[in-house]
Amino acid sequence: MKKVLIAVDETEDSKSVLSVFQNMVRPPESVVLVHVQQLEGKSMMIDMLSDSELDTLREALEGTEYKETLDRKSEKILNFYRKELENGGLVSVKTVVRAGITSDEILKIAQEEGVDLIVTGYNGKSFMQRMVSGSLSKDIEKKAAVPVLVAKNPTAEEKYAWSTAAACGAK
């Protein structure tokens, strides 16, 4: 595997991608870290915009305080993950920031970069939350041309079981 795309955000659940990635059998030659900015908060309306309407929205936001805040947030998130990956011994880490529909942007970047695998976190939404707002990881999984690995944050019980197993030498 030569290149892996890792989609990240500011949530604790997103940090599970680090654990999954660091436990891969063979690390890739390079990683593309991606953060997609939410232009309208958590509204579903952005999913209904056409490409030209999204482009108009992006242009309208350029140079605004709101966009500058998004850019600072993206930089902070990507710097955290870059540092973690580099501390783990990975040398080639590229960061990409996009604004728009998260799943669409991740899939576009995956194609542009020619990645062999997409790694994304799982947010643990309830059934009703998924019915209303959808599931990013499911959407990417359905549409991706490459394998998708969904990193799930372990529950407290799972963390305890793993640490107990490791302490007993069962790892």
**Measuring CA to CA, which residue among 132, 116, 100, 158 is closest to residue 31?**
116
pLDDT score of 25: 56
- For the chain, domains (ranges, CATH) are 3-167 (3.40.50.620)
Q: What is the value of pTM for the model shown?
A: 0.76
| Pairing status of strand 39-42 against strand 93-99 | unpaired
Q: Which range is most confident: 17-31, 41-55, 86-100, 126-140?
A: 86-100
CA–CA separation, 158 vs 160, rounded Å?
A: 5
| pLDDT value of position 32 | 94
